[in-house]
Amino acid sequence: MIQSTLNRNYRRLTTPRSAALAGILFALLFATSLTLLRISIPAGLSTDTTWLTTDRNYITFALGLTPFAGITYLWFIGVVRDRLGEYEDRFIASVFYGSSLLFLAMVFVSMAIMGSMVAAYRLNPEIEANGQVIYFGRALIIQLNNVYAVRMAGVTMMSLATIWLRTGLGPRWLTFLSFALALAMLLVINFSLWVTLIYPAWVMLISLFILWMRYKHPERQLTASE
């Protein structure tokens, strides 16, 4: 048995080309979830709780999309790491992965809070009379998404752009565009959910670029930009 194990041919795992579609799926799922939440929940903070009744189905559907968006986001991170390969810098890569996971964790926490408010209202409709509880929950969600998660997304964008700039693995126009969008997300303070849509749009752009490079150069995984 030991000899047969030694003679067995093992194959090295490789990332399938279709894995780059994960970023596109994340962008579509996450953007759809954010859009549904934005059109269902009033823009400004208030003690109004009527949206828990009128738009509860949209909110529930949006919350249901979030876990799948998170799964595809993890695949996207893996695709980016696969593309970096041996050019990966441990320091900057650690910042990239750390900020990416923090972004996802904060999104999950904020969505869990939203789901808790919907579930609490479903079990006890009288909670609508206590608008302060709903006000606090919404304020907490806004802080998590538009202050912390958005800035972690900006750090992710800036760290990947830095790796591209130092290695030449990405085109200059995409590198500097990533820097510009990252600075906007790090410095601009805006409590609108629409600001968060910048990140899935960027992920989709990166994923489309990776797909294009893989189908244009199927014989190689890494291509330094000219």
Contact assessment for residue 188 and residue 195, using Cβ atoms and an 8 Å cutoff: yes
Q: In Å, how far from its chain's centre is CA 160?
A: 14
pLDDT in tens, 118-163: 887 777 766 655 667 778 888 888 888 888 999 999 999 999 999 8
Residue-level pLDDT at 128: 57
pLDDT in tens, 43-82: 666 666 777 777 778 888 999 999 999 999 999 988 887 7
Residue-level pLDDT at 81: 79
DSSP state letter for 169: -
Residue-level pLDDT at 51: 76
DSSP codes, 31-43: HHHHHHHHHHS-S
Q: Tell me the one-letter amino acid at 5.
A: T
pLDDT at 208 over 80: yes
Calculate mean pLDDT across residues 19-43.
86
Is residue 222 very low, low, confident or very high in pLDDT (cuts 50, 70, 90)? very low
Q: Tell the residue number behind the tokens 């990776």, with chain if given.
A: 210
Contact assessment for residue 66 and residue 32, using Cβ atoms and an 8 Å cutoff: no
- Mean residue pLDDT of the chain comes to 79
Identify which of 2-6, 87-91, 96-100 has the greatest average pLDDT.
96-100
Residue-level pLDDT at 155: 94
pLDDT at 201 over 80: yes
Residue-level pLDDT at 154: 93
Q: Which residues contact 99 (CB under 8 A, 6 or more apart)?
A: 152, 153, 155, 156, 159
- Output 101 or 83, whichever has higher pLDDT: 101
Q: Tell me the one-letter amino acid at 193.
A: L
Residue-level pLDDT at 116: 87
* Rounded Cα distance, 181 and 109, in Å: 24
Calculate mean pLDDT across residues 18-39.
87
Residue-level pLDDT at 13: 43
User: What are the structure tokens assigned to 107, written together?
Assistant: 């999104």
Helix (H) / strand (E) element for 185: namely helix 172-187
Helices (H), 41-171: 51-54, 56-84, 90-123, 131-143, 150-167
Contact assessment for residue 170 and residue 225, using Cβ atoms and an 8 Å cutoff: yes
pLDDT in tens, 180-190: 999 988 887 66
